Amino acid sequence: MRTLLHNFNFVPQDSPYYKTSPFPTSSFFNVRFPIKNNQISCNKAKNLRMDPSKGIQEQRIVIPNRHNEKLVGLLHETGSTDIVVLCHGFRSNKSNQIMNNVAAAIQKEGISAFRFDFSGNGESEGSFYYGNYNHEADDLHSVVQYFSNKNRVVPIILGHSKGGDVVLLYASKYHDVRNVINLSGRYDLKKGIRERLGEDFLERIKQQGFIDVGDGIVISFWFSCDVFD
């Protein structure tokens, strides 16, 4: 068993994640986790790209979730049994540059990676919601089950930003993935919401059942249940 080490420079030094990292270095946020027979050392993931000469393929896969919505993803197939599943952040999708960079770093070491759109995001079906953490954790479970049924192993789930919180929630609901990585997930979901939506946003949601914040985004009662319960 070796250690997979990523040094991502996505987090500034004054970030609380940087300060609390148990693996301090001069300028990077470190993540360590075990993986069999492989080791990745990536100091600048943003400079990594796919290497077609190694025969790495991207396969478009559609996976139904428990609500019969189609989740669209890309499998970076290297032929490995193990697949690392990647989860994007808020108002993002599988094509986010960070998701691309992480997938490239993983597949460069011969490990398959799968990045997908949560329901209501990117190419996936469903409605977009501001919170929706439980729904997205269930989406992720559908993905893990899909690959398990294909005799593949998901040893790691990795989420960035909001996706980082989703993988933590997943770990508390399900117990079928041994390694969970949270990259720059918000540590306090209450902080910053009132600044965006107003001090009385919870009262307005309770009265109206929703808030229209523009750009086609509606925050429903279920958002407050997701975040504050």
What digits encode the pLDDT tens for the residues 40-81?
333 333 333 344 544 557 899 999 999 999 999 999 999 999
Q: Which among 179, 182, 181, 168 is positioned nearest to 136, based on CA atoms?
A: 168
% residues pLDDT > 90 (the chain)? 50
Res 86 pLDDT > 80: yes
Find the mean pLDDT for residues 76-88: 96
* The predicted structure's pLDDT at residue 96: 92
Distance of alpha carbon 226 from alpha carbon 182, whole angstroms: 19
What is the overall mean pLDDT for the chain?
75
SS3 132: coil
* The predicted structure's pLDDT at residue 199: 76
Query: What residue segments make up the domains of the chain, in order of their start?
Result: 54-187, 190-229
Find the mean pLDDT for residues 151-176: 95
List the beta strands (DSSP E) in 26-142: 29-35, 41-42, 57-64, 70-77, 82-87, 112-116
Q: Which among 58, 142, 127 is positioned nearest to 95, based on CA atoms?
A: 58
Q: Greater confidence, 1 or 106?
A: 106
Q: Which CATH number does 54-187 carry? A: 3.40.50.1820
* The predicted structure's pLDDT at residue 206: 79
38 secondary structure, DSSP code: -
